[in-house]
Structure 1
Amino acid sequence: MLLNLFGHFIDVLSRRVVALLLLSFLTACSQQIARQTCVPLTSEAQYCLNPTSSVLTDAQHRDINLTQMVNFTRGQDSHELLTQLDVNSQRMTLVGLAPLGQALFTLVYDGQTLQSEQSLLLGEQFKAEYLMAIMQLIYWPTEQVNQQLSGGNLITISCDMALCKQLVDDNGASITLTYNNIDPWLAQVNVDIDAADIHLQINPIE
C-alpha cells in the first residue's frame, strides 16, 4: 500500500512539466474527500492520527507554522514538493504546493475527521493522508506515536546524527528517521522506507 502510494506520487511528480501547463485550469477543478484517519505504514504496522494536543503540550511549539521543501527519491527518480504544515489547538493542516506555488492538495484534521481537497490532476488513487501520517511520525513525541501505533513500535536508536528513530513492525520491516538537530522542528529530516526503496528528505524553510 505504501509503495503504491509513493510510487504513484512520484509518477505524478515526474509528469510535472505537463502538469504545470495545465495547472491554471486544473487548480479550479478539485474534489473534496473524507479520508481515513488510520493508515498502514508497513505491511504490519498501522498508525492512527494523533490529536494536535499531543504535540502542543510543549510550550515552545504553540501554533506551529512550518514551510518545508520535501524531496522524494525512489530508485533513480527524485522530485520536490513544497509543503505548509500548520498546527493549532483545533486542527492540523497540511498543504502540498506545486513548484510554482499552486495548491495541489489540502488536508485538514480536526482530531476526529480528516478532510482532503485535492486537484483532479493527482487522480483518485493519490492519498495525501499518508504524508500527514509521516509528518506526525517525524514530529510528534515518540510515546504519543506509540499510543496510536499497532503492529509496530517507534524507538530512539543510537547513531552519529543529533537524533535517530526507527519504526520496526512485527515482521522486522522498518522506517528510519534521522535528524540533524535535536529539535525536530528545526531539523533536516531524512526518512528511509527500505521495503519500498523510498527516501524522503524534509528541509524546513525559514
Structure 2
Amino acid sequence: MLLNRLWHSAEIMLPRLVALLLLSLLSACSQQIERQTCVPLASEAQYCLSSASAVLATSPQQDISLSQMVSFTHGQENHELLTQLELNSQQMTLVGLAPLGQALFTLVYDGQTLQSQQSLLLGEQFKAEYLMAIMQLIYWPTEQVNQHLTGGELVTMACDIPLCKQLNNASGALITITYSDIDPWLAQVNVDINAGDIHIQINPIN
C-alpha cells in the first residue's frame, strides 16, 4: 500500500519536476522577452491568447499537465521537439525541449501578459507564442476561441474520425485540426496550416 502511494505521488510530481529542470537549464543561456498576446494565424485571421479558466472548469482535474512530442513539416523540412504544457488557475506554461535534451524556450501566460524565455541559439525571429496560440486552438472550447478570434471562425465539422475542427474565413479553410480521440487531451492531433504549407503533429506522451 505504501509503495503504491509513493508511486502515485511520483507520477503526480514528475511532470512538475521536469518543468522546473527545463527552466533551470534554459536560464543558463537565454534571453527574457515580453511577447505580444495577439498573433496573426493566417491571412487576416488573428488570435489573442485567453485564460485557461474555461478549460479547467470542464476538467475533473484542478491542474492539467501534458507532455508531448511535436513534429513540424514545412515542404521538405522536418523538425521535432518535446513540450511540457502546464495549466492552472493562475497561468499557462509551455516549455520546449529539443529531442537531444537542450532547453529551447519557456512561455508563461498569466491571462494578461506573455513572458518568453528562449535559447539564444533560436534567434530573435523565433516566436514560440505561435505554438502557444495553436495549442489554445486545439484544446480550448470552440466558443472561447471564437471570442478571441478576429478575421475568421473556428467550427466543428463532420468527418469520419472522432473530431475535426476548421478555422475558416471568407476565402475558405485556413487551418484544419483533426483528432484521433474525442477527448483532445488523449488524442494525436494533426494541424494543417494551408497558407503556410505547414503540418504539425502532436502526440501525447504517457
Residue 119 (structure 1) aligns with: 119
Aligned pair count reads: 182
Q: Following the alignment from structure 2 to structure 1, what is the Cα–Cα distance between the partners of residues 130 and 114?
A: 12
Matches of 1:198 and 1:103, distance apart in 2: 23
Please say which of residues 25-34 and 172-181 is displaced more in the overlay. 25-34
**Residue identity matched to 2:192:** D
Percent identity (aligned): 76
TM-score norm. by structure 2 comes to: 0.85
DSSP-derived class of the 1:59 partner = coil
Matched, 1:179 2:182: no
Check conservation: 1:44, 1:171, Cα contact below 8 A. Answer: no
CA distance 1:138–1:26, shift in 2 (3 Å): closer
Assess if the C-alpha contact under 8 Å between 1:26 and 1:120 holds in 2: no
- Secondary structure of the residue aligned to 2:126 is coil
CA shift, 1:103, in A, is 1.4
Q: 1:26-41, aligned counterparts within 5 Å?
A: 28-41=28-41
Mapped contact 1:161–1:179 kept (Cα < 8 A): yes
Partner of 1:69: 69
Q: Please show how residues 20-99 of structure 1 align to structure 2 within 5 Å.
A: 28-99=28-99
Q: Tell me if the contact between 1:44 and 1:170 (Cα under 8 Å) persists in the aligned partners.
A: no
Is residue 166–residue 177 contact of structure 2 (8 Å, CA) maintained in 1?
A: yes
For 2:194 and 2:130, locate their aligned partners in 1 and report how far apart those are by CA, in whole Å. Answer: 16
Q: Is the 8 A contact 2:166 2:173 kept in 1?
A: no
SS of alignment partner, residue 204 of structure 1: strand
Instruction: With the length of structure 1 as denominator, give the TM-score of the two structures.
Output: 0.85
Deviates more, 1:100-109 or 1:185-194: 100-109
Letter in 2 for 1:191: V
User: Secondary structure of the residue that 1:54 maps to in structure 2?
Assistant: helix
Q: Within 1, Cα distance between the matches of 2:164 and 2:112?
A: 30
Change (3 A) 1:26 1:186: closer
Q: Does residue 158 in structure 1 map to residue 140 in structure 2?
A: no
Are the aligned partners of 2:37 and 2:49 in contact in 1 as well (CA < 8 Å)? yes
Q: CA deviation at 1:202?
A: 0.2
Q: 2: distance between equivalents of 1:43 and 1:115?
A: 26
Which residue of 1 is the match for residue 132 of structure 2?
132
Q: Which has the greater radius of gyration?
A: 2
Instruction: Give the C-alpha shift of residue 59 in structure 1.
Output: 3.2
Gaps of 5+ in 1: 1-24
- Residue deviations 1:107-165 (CA, integer Å, cap 9, x gap): 00000000000000000100100000000000000000000001100000111110000
Q: Please tell me the residue identity of whatever aligns with 1:148.
A: H
